[in-house]
A and B are shown apart, each in its own frame.
Chain A
């Protein structure tokens, strides 16, 4: 282990000979305790925001938690990410490097759905999985009209109140999109305007294409290799 340079200033009084994992940074003037305090505040902040699965902006982290520790931003975020991983099994992922937005994704291997979430959430996730499977099996992109026709077959209608999902159109086009499970983009030069639906970044990270393909294959009683392009994509991703 290499002996690192030690600061003489702040916090040096607490340093003992055993602690040589102290990494000097430009933020040396802050004690590690102060930084760690910010790390735990950030972890809690991210956990709360994650409950609604809304992406978190860097600006909000700065404004609400990091504040005057702006210069130690990357140290704090990295440490928070490490803690989220080690203690909670969650991974902090930057999904938009231009706007600096982050989400937490579940890093644990998928379990049987039983304990994953509350009942209403579970049903919503069921609908989401159906939509994602449909998109994946149709070659990763579908038009809005095709998706709604498909959902119609399942007796899920956009205009009507569904007893579990409420306003289905809102759930699909707003909530799932905001949570980054779905991405909806207008198709240029269409009149009336048409849209294409694709997997969003959270879906790409959290949901295994292999599981999706296996589930579809099971329902249809075929071997997954029957869908050769989906099969190779699923094998390539996970």
Chain B
């Protein structure tokens, strides 16, 4: 029999849901806050147990608190996900059919792209091809803004990628619906939207996973084919903003 839920568990769950997504250190602070507010036993290293108690009560509802890793900085994040049928139409919000169609098409662009990004121009060009109802560019811009606010997409310099929240929630859906194109990270084995890819054998790795894996190695080699792994020196911050160099950086020495 699963452990009983207390008000601390319920409070934690409420905040997690209203946040959409919660960064790991925030979640740890929240854990402490909830236990103290509702005067229940608190141990700083028991967050996982605390969450699995909640999960055992969410399971009959086909819901779950799931942990995922940000593709940008490798930090853990938590989100409440719907396991039953996490397709785009079930996204935890009240979008119209038209907005959902725009989201679905944006997701196609991002996943089918070389680098895990779609430009705003390309997305806005989809707006008047929607089947549900044509959307003006201005409207579509507004909708994109909402998707970013609601943490389904994230935007960097006019390019959009899937937000960590979206990846945590939709991982299964994406892996089964984009079987041939969706890639799994060779290190952590979860879905990789933004990744670096080995030119010889084609495996992909998340940037934070690449950094961790090659840390301290003078001559990084692909974990699968052992070819030289062309990338910036692992751990150098420049890499973060260079995610579009998904292919090995053969021309990287332009500056030298």
Taking beta carbons and an 8 Å cutoff, which residues of A are in contact with B?
36, 40-41, 43-44, 47-49, 51-52, 83, 86-90, 106, 108-109, 111-112, 114-118
Instruction: Contacts A49-B94, A51-B18 given; indicate if A111 touches B61 (C-beta within 8 A).
Output: no
The yes or no answer to B239 lying at the interface (CB within 8 A) is no
Q: Quick check: B18 and A106 within 8 Å, CB to CB? A: no
Can you list the 5 inter-chain pairs with the closest CB atoms, starting with the nearest? A89-B10, A40-B61, A111-B37, A87-B57, A115-B15
* Chain B residues closer than 8 Å to A83, beta-carbon distance: 61
A106 vs B84: C-alpha distance in the bound complex, in angstroms?
A: 25
Q: Quick check: A87 and B33 within 8 Å, CB to CB? A: no
Q: Quick check: B7 and A109 within 8 Å, CB to CB? A: yes
Instruction: Contacts A40-B84, A44-B63, A114-B33 given; indicate if A86 touches B57 (C-beta within 8 A).
Output: yes
Please tell me which one of the listed residues A48, A90, A106 contacts residue B92 in the complex, with CB atoms under 8 A apart: A48
Taking beta carbons and an 8 Å cutoff, which residues of B are in contact with A?
5, 7, 10-11, 13-15, 17-19, 30, 33-34, 37-38, 57-58, 60-63, 82, 84, 92-94
Instruction: Contacts A87-B5, A118-B19 given; indicate if A48 touches B10 (C-beta within 8 A).
Output: no
Given contacts A41-B84, A115-B15, 15 further A-B contacts (CB under 8 A): A40-B62, A43-B61, A44-B63, A48-B93, A51-B94, A87-B10, A87-B58, A88-B17, A89-B10, A89-B13, A90-B14, A106-B14, A109-B38, A114-B33, A115-B30
* Chain B residues closer than 8 Å to A116, beta-carbon distance: 15
A111 vs B196: C-alpha distance in the bound complex, in angstroms?
A: 45
* Chain B residues closer than 8 Å to A89, beta-carbon distance: 7, 10-11, 13-14
Q: List 8 A-B contacts (CB under 8 A).
A: A40-B84, A48-B92, A51-B18, A86-B5, A88-B10, A88-B13, A88-B14, A109-B7
A141 vs B135: C-alpha distance in the bound complex, in angstroms?
A: 44
Distance in angstroms from B37 CB to nearest chain A CB is 5
Please tell me which one of the listed residues B5, B10, B17, B60 contacts residue A47 in the complex, with CB atoms under 8 A apart: B17
* Chain A residues closer than 8 Å to B61, beta-carbon distance: 40, 43-44, 83, 87
A36: nearest chain-B partner, CB-CB: B60
A151 vs B185: C-alpha distance in the bound complex, in angstroms?
A: 55
B11: nearest chain-A partner, CB-CB: A108
B26: nearest chain-A partner, CB-CB: A115
Instruction: Contacts A87-B10, A108-B11 given; indicate if A51 touches B33 (C-beta within 8 A).
Output: no
Q: Quick check: B94 and A48 within 8 Å, CB to CB? A: yes
Q: Quick check: B18 and A117 within 8 Å, CB to CB? A: yes
A211 vs B254: C-alpha distance in the bound complex, in angstroms?
A: 65
A116 vs B58: C-alpha distance in the bound complex, in angstroms?
A: 21
Q: Quick check: B11 and A111 within 8 Å, CB to CB? A: yes
Distance in angstroms from A85 CB to nearest chain B CB is 9
* Chain B residues closer than 8 Å to A108, beta-carbon distance: 7, 10-11, 14, 38
